[in-house]
């Protein structure tokens, strides 16, 4: 199994797992439960790979403005394969994110940047190790 296939399988496995309680340190110093996540697989159009990478780099600032987004990762899995993984304390936080600026920007740019629509999977967090 190639690294790319392994990471894709890992993301898919997370999407079908059941919830457990994990704790993360919030900006205010209080502990908050982190139970749910979103995994978004992205495949860049030929020639748009660096534009997708830059889109993800810029997404960090938008994620930082979302108080319920405890963890947010924009990752490159291969030359044209990318993903977003983010974690939330509850479904309300996840839904706020899904109707927020990052999701809107992704849908606005998807036709120009992506070879196919984003594959969005809701996930339950089984375990995590976060700073704090």
pLDDT value at 73 more than 70: yes
Assign 1 to helix, strand or coil.
Answer: coil
- pLDDT category at 31 given cuts 50, 70, 90 is low
| pLDDT, average across residues 79-84 | 98
**Third-level CATH fold of 3-124:** Alpha-Beta Plaits (3.30.70)
**CB contact at 8 A, 66 and 98:** no
Q: How many residues does the chain have?
A: 132
Domain ranges in the chain are 3-124
- Nearest to 78, CA basis, from 1, 7, 12, 14: 7
C-alpha distance from residue 115 to each of 52, 74, 101, 110 (Å): 11, 18, 22, 8
Q: What is the pTM of this model?
A: 0.76
């Amino acid at each position: 199994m190639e690294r790319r296939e392994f990471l894709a399988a890992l993301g898919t496995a997370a999407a079908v797992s059941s919830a457990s309680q994990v704790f993360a340190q919030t900006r205010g110093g209080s502990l908050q439960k982190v139970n749910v996540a979103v995994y978004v697989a992205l495949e860049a159009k030929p020639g748009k790979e660096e534009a997708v990478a830059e889109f993800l780099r810029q997404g960090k600032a938008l994620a930082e403005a979302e108080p319920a987004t405890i963890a947010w990762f924009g990752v490159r899995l291969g030359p044209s394969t990318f993903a977003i993984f983010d974690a939330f304390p509850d479904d309300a936080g996840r839904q706020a994110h899904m109707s927020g600026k990052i999701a809107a920007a992704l849908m606005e740019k998807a036709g120009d940047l992506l070879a196919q629509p984003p594959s969005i999977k809701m996930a339950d967090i089984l375990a995590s190790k976060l700073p704090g």
